[in-house]
């Protein structure tokens, strides 16, 4: 396309901008305030934490997001997504986002908090209790021990004589630290040395004896609104765990069957990969699986990627899908000795397989078509495609230098940067880019410069958003040849 059709608008806005306000247009696509904030808030970006450089940082980040959109559009036009690792990564992220939406609907969406529950939570949040705890073998022995402890109202009892004590400890707990049934008993105790038997369906029988009860400093320091928020959050967390257990109980009505041969292939191949570079896999006293391990594992097991790894009823997870899930679960091994390695992986694989099956269920319910999933998936797709095309361009430029007449000369870094900038400039002209920098003044952003990870419902985690590639140097040439509108 001949001529330059891009426009920069520097008009200043007043007041906060709505999330759907447009900051840039790239062909038929837009970058909204929400798009911009989502990307820059949850990942590091130089200068955003400094008031003196924050405005420049916003401009550079917006130009980089425009560059990402341009590269993504071009990558799609040139078919970079087809039959590539990028396509596999996008499919894996689609499953993760769909599973997370299933969790939000079936677990988080079913949580309700009654007013009386909140008032009880506030009362308990105000105190911290210190307890003698005794794990017991039977109800009879638990009640006998509680009677014995209550019969001594002074310090004369040095050691209880009741039988059936499995373990004894002293703990300090606040609201939310214990299971519901245990907490009912622990916070009901109101006099020192008072004891009571308590039962929990998952843990069993215990006896709690009050040692001390005192004010919770966090409660004392907070105002009423902060106290309500903290108590509500603790209640939600507890109900979330309970609702997840209830959902899983209703969903996993068939046994999970895993193919032993597929597991052996994955385990042995992963072991070989990690042993080959044991030092590079050392992480805080453990040996951890890296992202590139998964890619190497896929290549090593390419002939069996489509074979079943786990099945439950009419749902099935392939070996390839299972391998891709390993990127999102923090597998750690105490030692790279084959026996212990296989044992640890075997113990860890069940929840990963269950999460993968729940991803299949989410897709079966067509949650991947939901608007919130499609929006996030579009963001990840743009970032991954842009990254793939940029890598291809850089590799092509490197090959061009090697095959030039003066191939003995190392690649000219400045020349490579200029070539990429010129390429982006040509794309900006082709797709009629518009950027409204004046609006950025009124777009608040987080000053945190840390990588943020996101917990996925039913297990696993991923980066909250893709990192923004630093691709803003083309902006200088673009501005110098662009019509400036008031």
CATH of the domain at 187: 3.10.50
119 with 240, same domain: the answer is: yes
* DSSP 3-state percent helix, strand, coil across the chain (nearest 5): 55, 15, 30
Number of domains into which the chain is organized = 3
Query: Does residue 252 sit within a domain?
Result: no
Residue 82: predicted pLDDT: 60
What are the angstrom distances between the C-alpha of 289 and each of 297, 336, 468?
11, 12, 25
Query: Does residue 67 sit within a domain?
Result: yes
E-strand ranges in 158-219 read 165-174, 195-200, 204-215
123 with 239, same domain: the answer is: yes
235 with 120, same domain: the answer is: yes
Residue 458: predicted pLDDT: 95
**Domain-terminating residue out of 315, 332, 364:** 364
Q: Are strands 127-136 and 7-9 parallel, antiparallel or unpaired?
A: unpaired
Residue 16: predicted pLDDT: 62
Q: With H, G, I as helix, E, B as strand and everything else as coil, classify residue 133.
A: strand
Q: How far apart are CA 428 and CA 67, in angstroms?
A: 8
236 with 328, same domain: the answer is: no
Q: How far apart are CA 292 and CA 282, in angstroms?
A: 14
Sheet holding 282-283, edge to edge: 282-283, 286-288, 332-333
- The token duo for 422 is 């010129």
439 with 413, same domain: the answer is: yes
Residue 15: predicted pLDDT: 56
Q: With H, G, I as helix, E, B as strand and everything else as coil, classify residue 378.
A: helix
Q: How far apart are CA 348 and CA 417, in angstroms?
A: 45
Q: What is the pLDDT along the chain (486 residues), one digit of tens a residue?
A: 333 334 444 344 455 667 789 999 999 999 999 999 999 999 999 999 999 999 999 999 999 999 999 999 999 888 766 656 678 889 999 999 999 999 999 999 999 999 999 999 999 999 999 999 999 999 999 999 999 999 876 665 667 888 899 999 999 999 999 999 999 999 999 999 999 999 998 899 999 999 999 999 999 999 999 999 999 999 999 899 889 999 999 999 988 899 999 999 999 999 999 999 999 999 888 999 988 999 999 999 999 999 999 999 888 899 999 999 999 998 899 989 999 999 999 999 999 999 999 999 999 999 999 999 999 999 999 999 999 999 999 888 877 765 554 554 555 678 888 999 999 999 999 999 999 999 999 999 999 999 999 999 999 999 999 999 999 999 988 877 665 443
Query: Does residue 191 sit within a domain?
Result: yes
Q: Is the pTM of this model over 0.85?
A: no
Residue 66: predicted pLDDT: 97
Place of tokens 């893709």: 466
Residue 162: predicted pLDDT: 81
Q: Which domain holds residue 128?
A: 115-244
**Domain-terminating residue out of 364, 382, 415:** 364
DSSP character at residue 49: T
215 with 312, same domain: the answer is: no
**Domain-terminating residue out of 220, 244, 268:** 244
Q: How far apart are CA 5 and CA 425, in angstroms?
A: 11
38 with 138, same domain: the answer is: no
Query: Does residue 251 sit within a domain?
Result: no
What are the angstrom distances between the C-alpha of 6 and each of 67, 362, 370, 433?
14, 42, 34, 5
195 with 281, same domain: the answer is: no
355 with 268, same domain: the answer is: yes
Query: Does residue 287 sit within a domain?
Result: yes
Q: Are strands 434-435 and 332-333 parallel, antiparallel or unpaired?
A: unpaired
Query: Does residue 213 sit within a domain?
Result: yes
Query: Does residue 249 sit within a domain?
Result: no
200 with 301, same domain: the answer is: no
Query: Does residue 289 sit within a domain?
Result: yes
282 with 331, same domain: the answer is: yes
Place of tokens 């385990």: 267
* Dihedral over Cα of 140, 143, 145, 148: its sign: negative
138 with 225, same domain: the answer is: yes
């Amino acid at each position: 396309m001949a001529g330059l059709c891009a426009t920069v608008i520097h008009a200043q806005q007043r007041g906060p901008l709505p999330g759907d306000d447009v900051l840039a247009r790239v062909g038929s696509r837009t970058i909204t305030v929400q798009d911009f904030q989502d990307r820059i808030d949850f990942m590091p970006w130089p200068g955003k934490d400094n008031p003196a450089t924050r405005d420049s940082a916003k401009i550079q980040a917006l130009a980089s997001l425009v560059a990402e959109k341009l590269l993504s559009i071009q990558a799609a036009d040139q078919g970079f997504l087809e039959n590539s690792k990028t396509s596999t990564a996008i499919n894996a992220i689609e499953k993760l986002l769909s599973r997370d939406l299933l969790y939000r609907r079936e677990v988080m969406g079913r949580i309700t908090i009654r007013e009386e529950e909140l008032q009880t939570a506030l009362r308990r949040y105000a105190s911290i209790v210190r307890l003698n705890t005794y794990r017991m073998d039977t109800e009879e022995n638990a009640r006998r021990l509680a009677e014995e402890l209550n019969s001594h109202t002074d310090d004369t009892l040095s050691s209880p004589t009741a039988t059936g004590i499995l373990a004894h400890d002293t703990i300090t707990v606040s609201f939310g630290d214990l299971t519901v049934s245990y907490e009912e008993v622990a916070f009901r105790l109101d006099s020192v040395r008072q004891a009571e038997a308590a039962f929990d369906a998952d843990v069993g029988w215990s006896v709690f004896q009050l040692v001390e009860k005192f004010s919770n400093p966090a409660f004392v320091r907070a105002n009423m609104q902060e106290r309500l928020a903290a108590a509500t959050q603790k209640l939600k967390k507890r109900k979330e765990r309970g609702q997840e257990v209830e959902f899983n109980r209703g969903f996993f009505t068939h046994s999970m069957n895993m193919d032993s041969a597929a597991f052996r292939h994955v385990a042995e191949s992963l072991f070989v990969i990690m042993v080959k570079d044991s030092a590079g896999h050392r992480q805080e006293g453990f040996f951890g699986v890296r992202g590139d391990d998964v890619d190497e594992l896929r290549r090593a097991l390419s002939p069996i990627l489509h074979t079943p790894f786990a099945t439950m009823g009419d749902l099935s997870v392939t070996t390839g899908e299972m391998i891709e899930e390993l990127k999102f679960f923090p597998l750690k091994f105490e030692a790279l000795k084959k026996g212990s390695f296989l044992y640890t992986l075997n113990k860890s694989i069940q929840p990963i397989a269950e999460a993968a099956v729940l991803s299949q269920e989410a897709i079966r319910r067509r949650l991947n078509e939901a608007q919130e999933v499609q929006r996030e998936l579009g963001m990840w797709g743009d970032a991954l495609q842009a990254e793939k095309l940029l890598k291809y361009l850089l590799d092509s430029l490197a090959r061009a230098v090697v095959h030039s007449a003066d191939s003995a000369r190392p690649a000219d870094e400045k020349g490579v940067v200029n070539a990429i900038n010129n390429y982006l400039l040509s794309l900006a002209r082709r797709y009629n880019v518009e950027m409204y920098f004046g609006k950025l003044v009124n777009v608040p952003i987080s000053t945190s410069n840390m990588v943020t990870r996101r917990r996925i419902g039913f297990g696993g985690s991923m980066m909250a958003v893709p990192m923004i590639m630093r691709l803003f140097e083309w902006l200088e040439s673009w501005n110098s040849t662009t019509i400036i509108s008031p």
